[in-house]
Amino acid sequence: MSESREWLIQWLRDAHAMEEQAETMLSGQLSRIESYPDLSDRIRIHL
Can you give the residue ranges of every domain in the chain? 22-47
Measured between alpha carbons, how far apart are the two ends of the chain, in Å? 35
Q: How far apart are CA 3 and CA 46, in angstroms?
A: 35
The pLDDT of residue 17 is 98
Q: Which positions of the chain have pLDDT values less than 50?
A: none
Alpha helices in the chain (DSSP H): 3-30, 37-46
pTM above 0.75, yes or no: no
The pLDDT of residue 31 is 85
Q: How far apart are CA 2 and CA 27, in angstroms?
A: 38
DSSP state of 47: -
Q: How far apart are CA 4 and CA 24, in angstroms?
A: 30
The pLDDT of residue 21 is 97
